[in-house]
Structure 1
Amino acid sequence: MSPPGQFRPGRTEEIRRPPRAAAHCVECWENNLYVGTADGQLYHYWVDNLTLADTTSQRHPSNSNRSCHSESQGDDTNSAAGEMSTTTVSADMNQASLIQFILVGSGKARVDSLAVLEKARKLVVFCDSTLSFYSLPDLTPLTTTANANFGPLRGVQSYATDAAVTATSNPQFHRDPQVPTVLMVAKRRGLQVYHVAPQSLQLRYEVPLAVGGIRTLCAWHDQFCLADDEMYQLVNLRHPKEALPLIPTPTTSPSAPNSSAQPWIVAIQANEFLIVTTSGVDRSALGMFITGRGDAVRGTLHFTSYPRAVGYADPYIVTLARTNALEIYHIADQRLVQVIDLPPSHAARNLSRASLMAIQTPLLAKLEGSVLTQPASPDTAQAITQKTTVPVPFLLTSATTVDALVLQPLLLQVDLLLDAHRVEEALAKTHQALETCYTAPTRQLELCYIYQKAGLIYLGKTLFDDALDLFCKGKLRPRLLLKVFPSLAQTLQLTTLPDPPRGLADVFAATGDIDHIVAVNTPSGPPPTEDHETHRALGAMLRQNAHDMLARYFEFVQQEAQRSYDRQPPSALSPEALERPWSRTEMDLDVVYPVLVYQALTRLVDQPPEQKALQSKVLDLVKAGAEYCPIASMAPLLTDAHQYYALSLVYRANGQSAKALQLWADLLAGALEDSHFGGVNEMYEYLYLLGDSDLVWELSSVVLKHSELLGAKLFISVAAQDPSSAMVDRVIDRLQSYGPTGTTMYLEFVIDQLGNQEPRYHERLIELLVQALQQRLQDSQQHDGNGPLNHVIEGPGRTRAGDPLHEGFQRMRRKAADPLTFLEYLQSRQHDPVARVRSQLLSFLARSQQYDCAGVADQLQRHQADDHRLGLDSELAVVWGKLGEHERVIEALVLRVQDYESAERYCQRIADDTTRSHYFLTLLKYYLQLDSADDDEDQIIILVRHLLTRYGSSLEPLAVLRLIPEMWTVDIVEPFLRQALRSTETRRRECQVTKSLHQATHLVTHHKLILTRKALNTRIKGPIVTDAPDTCSYCDRPLDSQAVAIILASHELVHPACVQSQGME
């Protein structure tokens, strides 16, 4: 199995420098390369064309790449399976040009290290225990001035920048201008923390440390890990005095006993560091992962030798071994995954972090462009550029060369494995990357491409289950997969299939169609006669398995589409589409549903025992995706399979409503058969939904044959489109040929909802309701199995007997706590067809004002004379009331219907002050005419007492006493008499009070008149009658009838007030 990542050394030409200068450290910024030498020189190079050339067919002649495996897997560390020689790429830096070189410091001390401060645009040079600062990119030395303090920092033992800023997992620190550039400097007395800005260097604070000489320093925000002459220690700037000692620092290298060992500290992430120490057993070394509390985490790295340099590029630890090789370990399982043997002429000295350098890879750019299925756009082009720019984690420095170590992208590694048909290795590498460092949300397109390509390779090898699993993971477009089944696409008339993306074109061509796959995977050559049937059966089985795989994948797509139905797909070219590539548009549902329906129909023909289940499956598929099923291909298939209801749904979804309804009409008529059809109710609901009056007229007869009510509802649904009388007559003619029920419903809508006021429609509705009542009575009689109802009218004072509805009303009336009318009783029994129709008739007669009352009364009387079961007395009472025959109404309600509450309400409604006594006396008279056979005498007494108590104030006591039977006792009318006497006495006293008030008023007025005469000193005796003008002679205002006028000696009429105002006597 290949390792999850590949580091490749890049070739460079020799650095142009003075003959005896040796490169020791290197740093980069964009295309600028800065090299520090062992003699204190600083070189500035410009490097063009930072690209990786495709060297698939060649490699560095001296470069040996080894992929390492766990021994438990039984793999040889030099096995061919681990070799990646066919994918070697190299950095072409032959265009590097020297811009300048300067001398750092005062002597020839070695330049120990370089560091680029990106936001401050500064280069930090550590040479001869001094930190010097230079501007980027021109290397102008910075000194202390009045406005800036960039003077060299002397006496420096070690320094570090904040590793969180350069960590790839924290890109916000590169962009956030509010995050300062922090520089930590270790001196003999402690730590100094500086903030570096483009214009200044400021010492923020100093932390004293009780440690020896600091040899190595590493920082992540406020957390420090340092190594002095004795111990590795953890220091938190918030609590600097509480240094936590870890393990002793190595003093000598086990690999080179005569040389001192450099302690190594690498920041892994927040609150985690890697420290290196000797093993104490052999010449190997150990790497320990330590948290900010000093706890060991992960596992322990076992280095083959004490490293010369250590670096971290997620998820790998890279070491420069003393064997002139690069060793690469995976951080997750601490395995040695790769060894890069450097050529003998390439004696590496240092390994430097190069977080700000990136190299374009044409091969990866070509591959990434092939992954996209859409044409290029500015958004996609930018996304491809970002993905195909390979970061350079490290720069490797030798005496004469600088090499860039490039992490080979996963996509390129896996694609090369897939091209070699090493699918298992490619998938294992992908899964390992997903478990460690490869973030799926940002690389969905690449993952889909890998799974799709691997699935197509498996498909070509007839590994259909494995191919299906990969297609589901890779979200392969169904249209592309259908290219493998051209005959199926032709059958379904799906001929416009797209070309595969460039990255999959070759594998599609190699896989071929299903015929090619079957031919490749069956024995070639003319088979013997006895094996001919076996070969043919094998081919048929492979075809069937392939079609089953296709059906299962399309079912998966269908389920995904249903789950994501409410989500809006992003734009195909938006950045979001790069993260979520499988939108509903790319699901190709117009291909998925036709194929699934076709395969289900094929099984329906081939597997009769499963017919019922397959029919349900076909119907479910059509219901879910009818709009995606093309009529041209689906109609013949569904017709041949006798799936007429499913075909109607396809017509309906594609806007051909007339054809769908015609199929339903044939199903209702019995010309076609399909048990899944919902019947006339479904047809009605669809017609109602359409609201098309032409279709309603065309198909109403079909609905009316099965349901009058549904047919009437159809006409009601379109009645507002044309409410004219001509249309109403036309509808009535159509409805009445099928029975009165639909006509009744339609007329009620026309009158109540459309407000039609034509008397003929009102009278027609009354006639239909009477006919309906007759029909309900007849149906009720047949249902009960009884003979004719004993319904007789025996003249005044006699009520009908043997009427179940009337008898039920009387029983409920006697038991009810509150007064109950006959109409209220009917409305409470809507489950009874007779009661329901009678309540309709009574309500309509009461609210309608448009029918001819006399004609309707005659009509009702004729019906009642012809059919004694009807008992239309309540209805006649309503009509007589509109004719003003009030006594006749009261008589019918009391003596025939025995609806006493309605009679009382009627009298109260029609009576005024002059007629109230007359009507209530009439009601009392009919109460007293009730026969004890209909109501016992106690009940009559209760009615009379209730009437006298409730309306006694409107009745004359003497008239009441004349009507009361002589045999009744006084206690029956005693409450009424008491109330009458009390009312009479109250009225007498009110008259006395009124008389007294009038007399007092007259006395006061007479007194005022006397006083007025005395004031005017007039001798007027009695009233004076005059025909003089009716205006005052002084003010010319009218003399109204209420004013008192005074006639002067001049025979003029004036107001008394005018006399006083003028001062006259």
Structure 2
Amino acid sequence: MSVKAFEFVSVIEALQQLGENAQTKIECIECCGKELYVGTNDSSLILYALEEKKEGIGKVVYKSRKVRHKFLDLKKPVKCIKAASALNRLLILCDSSLLILNMHDLEIIGGGPKLRGISTFCLNENPNINNPFCIQICVARKRQLQVYNVTEEKLIHIKDIGVPEPAIGVAVDGSYICAALLTQYTVYNFDTNFTQQLFTYGRENFLPIIRRITKEEFLLSAPEGLGMFVNAEGMSNRPPIQWSYPLRALAYSHPYILGLSDDVIMVYSILDQQQKQALPFIGGRSIGNFDGRIYVTSGMAVYSLTPVPWEKQVEVLLADSRVEEALELAQNANRVGMTKEQFQKLYHKIQQQAAFIHFSNGEFDKAQELFVSGSVDPREVISIFPGLMPPSSTFVRSIPPLHGIADVIQLFHGDEGKLSEAKQFLHHFLEDLREKSHQHALEVDTALLKVYAEINAPELEAFIAASEITCDVRDCCDWLEKSKCYHALALLHRHACDHDKALKVWAKIISGEYKDDRFHGLEFFVECLANLKEPEFLWRYADFVLSRDQEVGVGIFTLRSAQEVNSDALKPDTVLNYLHQYPKAVVKYLEHLVIKQEIQAEKFHTHLAILYLEDILKKRKEGNQEAVMELRTKLRYLLQVSSLYRVQLLLGKMNEADLHQEAAILYGKIEEHEKALDILVHNLKDFKAAEMYCINTTEGKGLKYKHNLFHTLLAVYLDPKLEASKREEYLSPALELLNARAGDFDAAKVLEMIPPNWSVSVVEVFLRGALRTSLHKYRMTKVESALARGENLQNRFALYHLQRLSISLHESNYCCICKKPFLDGSFARYPNNVLTHVSCARHSSICPLTGKNFKSLASLYPGR
């Protein structure tokens, strides 16, 4: 309760100095513009002219001058005064009578009371009437509430509402009347006659008070020292207020509620219902909000409660670290005289100050939320972390300062736990900031990179490699080297296009001079070399990588783009000459040229095949059968997909090495199929491979070629020169081949080839298959013949349709498109007899003259 929301300013210091009767006391007041009306206990009405001046910074001073003094001759206190400036009238309640006076000369209109027997009355501050020169009032009589419209000349009766008890206080908003009866509060709707009872109270030692707050909402004094908010439906949308002292009167000036007691003025916030200020004031009689000004009276004087500017209140709250209250006050402050942009700028500054307070208290999540919503300059945050601002930055902290933090080390007294949390906060804050904005990129990126390095964040390398950073490279390089983030250091050198320094750092990591577990090894280094456009770096580090791993190191050549293969510095011959001392690398490079790049050069294909063969023989000697099988698979693939190697050279080497399967492939390349099949059948005993050889070789070839190759395989099986035991061995695969591939044989030729001692039952399955295939081919031929005859008949009919009409072309005829005559006898005719030059007939199916589409006709005569 340390907010100074209001200050006392004297308006009328001593009433008795201005009146004749020393016993005169102030009962009520009303203010309209610069005119203050004072009602007294001796039935007097005094008019003062007020002059308001500002002295110094925000200080307000009032000067008052008595203008008129009117005795009402009713010998009773003036209980209530209400001004209607649009009507130039004052409404006064005195001695249970309602009087209407002229505002300026204080003369009674009509010479006497307008209404009698009145206990209280009030103005409707939100009337449902459209006449600007009319006000609405509600008056309370014994057991009745009455609604009147008041004009300059008369009172117009609107509504009577019966009540069970006399009303001692009323407030009106729109069509709703909130009445304080003798023992209860009730809400009435005088348009719909709806009644809503609120709550009851005892009559002794309790003063019912009603104050309108907002549209259809009222604040009521309640037993047990409470203030209850109720709306027109009888519901409460806010928590109650707990008054500190017995209540005498109420006033509302957003966002504060002012409660007057005998000894003090209580100031509560409507936002959190908490007391914010207590102003000692003995002998208080009334308090009210008059056109935005708060006036409070004692029996002898009138004071103004001048609100302390909300900006100063917020400053006090922030200085006391009451952040939530400060923000709430700023959000709900009266922004008179301030544009939306001005307020937004000021509110952002308040949010930033509040964020630094949260930060100082170690509440980093709250701080980040306010930093973001307050659009803080991120350099303000970075600057409190020693060493994170780049030396090249020209940033200077805000003046006046947003905080009093020298740096985080001083703030947290070197507490490593808090400092670690603060760095994590900065890490997330800067990451979120980069996603949303690119302002102050130099400072933000530099700081974020340093934070990544300091907290050993896994995002560091990806952050640099993204190539979208704008940092102080020299400063960051020093920081990374100091933090022993060598891989990140090399990446930053590469980002700055200083490839020489980057490669040197990586080379030191590989050689063990530097240690960095985040480095991805030799493969990464090789990939970086391969991606460089300058070949001098590649040659400089070629021995370095190849001496460590030939198969990985050769990637400096194989991973480069295809466009660079034939560059002067990287011609395949040049590279191969260099790689001769690295045999594994040679193989990998040749595989790249032959298989991936598909370079059509015989020497590369032959060289690769010979290297495969040499490796096979070497591994065979070592007894490494697994490696032999892997190499033979590669060799066979090369022999099958390529046709550029020197077959005869390789064939001799294959035979010498007893590589029968590879030799069969080579025989097939030179169309010596019998030798190939002989190897597969006799040497390898791989009958399925022999069959697949025939299938693969004849793919895409004609039927005769297929018949000849399958007959060759059958002849190998049935070779009469074979020993009897061999012939018996090959009988089963021969029959399986005949039965499975009957359609690939010429049945007549097969019957000539099979031994004469074979019975029909032996070849029955083959004969059935051959007959079925032959019959299918015959039927398909008949179908094709019938289709051809049908197509021919359609074409002939279409031709007849075109030729049955004669066309006469005269010298006077001209093209309907270009309007020129036909000179060479060639022309185009559309089905509707429109004639054009052939060159002018752009669309064969659309008449250029009428636009008619003849596609439907064309579909009827497809041969046309």
Q: Given the two structures, how large is their TM-score scaled by the length of structure 1?
A: 0.54
Deviation at 1:498, TM superposition (A): 4.4
2:490 alignment partner in structure 1: 648
- What is the CA-CA distance between 1:680 and the residue it aligns to? 0.4
- Indicate which of 715, 732, 741 corresponds to 1:950: 741
> What is residue 158 of structure 1 aligned with on the other side?
121
Name the residue aligned to 1:904. Answer: 694
Amino acid at match of 2:280: D
Aligned-residue offset at 1:859: 1.6
Whole-Å separation in 2 of the counterparts to 1:636 and 1:434: 42
Evaluate the alpha carbon distance shift between residue 979 and residue 715 of structure 1 in structure 2; reply closer, same or farther with a 3 A threshold: closer
Using a 3 Å threshold, how does the CA distance of structure 1 residues 447 and 780 change in structure 2: closer, same or farther?
A: farther
Return the match for 1:771 from 592, 597, 611.
611
Q: Give the match's secondary structure for 2:258.
A: strand
Contact 1:234–1:294, Cα closer than 8 Å, also in 2 = no
Contact 1:289 1:297 in 2 (8 A): yes
Structure 2 contact 27–78 (Cα < 8 Å) conserved: no
Partner of 2:208: 263
Counterpart secondary structure, 1:243: strand
Q: 1:396 to 1:263 in 2, by over 3 A?
A: same
Of residues 380, 397, 401, the one that matches 1:504 is 401
C-alpha distance in structure 2 between counterparts of 1:484 and 1:983, whole Å: 91
CA distance in 2, matches of 1:286, 1:987: 107
Cross-structure match for 1:340: 279
How far did residue 662 of structure 1 move? 1.4
SS of the residue corresponding to residue 560 of structure 1 reads helix
Name the CA distance, whole Å, in 2 between partners of 1:273 and 1:990: 99
On the 8 A contact 2:29/2:37 being kept in 1, the answer is yes
The alpha carbon displacement at 1:659 in A equals 0.9
Q: Partners in 2 of 1:468 and 1:956 — Cα distance? A: 91
Kindly state the Cα deviation for residue 9 of structure 1 after the two structures are TM-superposed.
2.0
Distance 1:747 1:637 in 2: 44
For 2:664 and 2:148, the matched residues in 1 are separated by 105
Aligned partners of 2:776, 2:612: CA distance in 1, in Å?
A: 56
- Does residue 924 (structure 1) correspond to residue 706 (structure 2)? The answer is no
Give the structure 2 partner of residue 7 of structure 1.
6
CA distance in structure 2 between the partners assigned to 1:313 and 1:689 by the alignment: 72
Counterpart position of 1:802? none
SS of 2:716's equivalent? helix
1:690 Cα deviation after fit: 5.8
513 and 240 in structure 1: CA distance in 2 versus 1, 3 angstrom threshold:
closer
Report the Cα offset of residue 660 of structure 1.
1.5
Question: Given the alignment, which residue of 548, 564, 573 partners 1:722?
Answer: 564
Write the letter of the residue equivalent to 1:412. Answer: K
* Counterpart for residue 964 of structure 1: 754
- The question of whether the paired residues in 1 share the 8 Å contact of 2:286 and 2:298 is answered with yes
Equivalent residue in structure 1 for 2:436, among 565, 568, 571: 568
Partner of 2:427: 559
Q: Using the alignment, how far apart are the partners of 1:416 and 1:986 within structure 2? A: 103
Q: How is 1:598-677 mapped onto 2 (pairs within 5 angstroms)?
A: 623=461, 632=474, 644-645=486-487, 647-652=489-494, 654-670=496-512, 672=514, 674=516, 676-677=518-519
Contact preservation (8 Å) 2:135, 2:150 = yes
CA distance in 2, matches of 1:450, 1:689: 50
- Contact 1:287–1:303 (CA under 8 A) maintained in structure 2: no
Query: 2:68, 2:536 → 1: CA distance?
Result: 93
581, 590, 595: which one aligns with 2:446 = 590
Q: Aligned residue pairs: how many?
A: 729
1:102 Cα deviation from its structure 2 partner = 13
Unmatched 5+ residue regions in structure 2? Answer: 334-343, 783-864
Query: Does 2:258 match 1:318?
Result: yes
Match for 1:858: what amino acid? Q
CA deviation string 1:365-399 (max 9, x = no partner): xxxxxxxxxxxxxxxxxxxxxxxxxxx6x333579
**Matching residue of 1:867:** 657
Per the TM alignment, residue 975 of structure 1 is displaced from its structure 2 partner at its CA by: 2.6
Equivalent pair of 1:158/1:214 in contact (CA under 8 Å)? no
Task: Measure, in 1, the Cα distance between the counterparts of 2:216 and 2:547.
Answer: 83
- Paired residue for 2:60, among 85, 91, 104? 91
Q: CA deviation at 1:134?
A: 12
Give the match's secondary structure for 1:263: coil
Residue 858 of structure 1: how far off its partner (Å):
0.8
Specify the alignment match of 1:449 in structure 2. 353
- Per-residue CA deviation, residues 124-151 of structure 1 (Å, 9 max, x unaligned), is 964458799999xx99xxx9xxxxxxxx
Query: How far 1:681 moved relative to its partner?
Result: 1.8
CA displacement at 1:861 relative to structure 2: 1.3
Shift of 1:568: 0.6
* CA pair 890-745 structure 1, distance change in 2 beyond 3 A: same
Tell me if the contact between 1:750 and 1:756 (Cα under 8 Å) persists in the aligned partners.
yes
Give runs of aligned pairs for residues 3-82 of structure 1, distance below 5 A.
Answer: 3-12=2-11, 24-26=28-30, 32-33=33-34, 35-38=36-39, 53-54=56-57
Contact 1:26/1:395 (8 A) holds in 2: no
Structure 2 residue 264 is matched with structure 1 residue 396 = no
Q: Report how far residue 333 of structure 1 moved.
A: 9.2
What does residue 520 of structure 2 align with? 678
CA separation of 1:674 and 1:888: change in aligned 2, threshold 3 A: same
- Tell me whether 1:225 sits opposite 2:16 in the alignment: no
C-alpha distance 936-53 of structure 1, shift in aligned 2 (>3 A): farther
- Distance in 1 between residues matched to 2:543 and 2:462, nearest whole Å: 31
- Residue 770 of structure 1 and its aligned partner are, at CA, apart by 3.8
* Distance of 2:253 and 2:331 partners within structure 1: 13
* 1:418-455 per-position Cα deviation (integer Å, ceiling 9, x unaligned): 9xxxx7xx23x446667999789995643543674799
- Deviation, structure 1 residue 925: 0.7
Residue 350 of structure 1: aligned partner: 286
- The CA distance in 2 between the partners of 1:937 and 1:686, in whole Å, is 64
SS in structure 1 of the partner of residue 607 of structure 2: helix
Cα distance, 1:310 vs structure 2? 0.8
Aligned partners of 1:969, 1:182: CA distance in 2, in Å?
129
Supply the distance in 2 between the matched residues of 1:862 and 1:772 (Cα, whole angstroms): 15
- In structure 2, relative to structure 1, the CA distance for the partners of 1:618 and 1:130 (3 Å cut) is same
Q: Which residue of 2 aligns with 1:244?
A: 197
Q: Quick one: distance in 2 between partners of 1:926 and 1:837?
A: 30
Query: Could you tell me how far 1:7 is from its partner in structure 2?
Result: 2.2
- Cα contact 2:46–2:68 (8 A) shared by 1: yes
Counterpart of 1:732 in structure 2 is 575
Q: For residue 677 of structure 1, give the secondary structure of its aligned residue in structure 2.
A: coil
CA contact (8 A) 2:430 2:448 kept: no
Give me the TM-score of the superposition, normalised by structure 2: 0.65
Q: 1:714 to 1:250 in 2, by over 3 A?
A: farther
How far the C-alpha of 1:909 sits from its partner, in A, is 3.5
Report the Cα distance in structure 1 between the residues aligned to 2:747 and 2:355, rounded to whole angstroms.
105
Distance of 1:269 and 1:990 partners within structure 2: 96
RMSD of aligned Cα (Å): 6.2
Give the match's secondary structure for 2:564: coil
| Cα distance, 1:991–1:502 mapped onto 2, change above 3 Å | closer
Query: How many angstroms apart in 1 are the aligned matches of 2:729 and 2:176?
Result: 105
CA distance in 2 between counterparts of 1:402 and 1:233 reads 33
Q: Is the 8 A contact 1:36 1:42 kept in 2?
A: yes
Give the drift of 1:874. Answer: 3.7
Distance 2:230 2:705 in 1: 110
Is the CA contact 2:742–2:770 (under 8 Å) kept in the aligned structure 1?
no
CA distance in structure 2 between the aligned counterparts of 1:300 and 1:505, rounded to whole angstroms: 34
Q: Tell me whether 40-49 or 948-957 shows the greater mean CA deviation.
A: 40-49
What is the one-letter code of the residue matched to 1:648? A
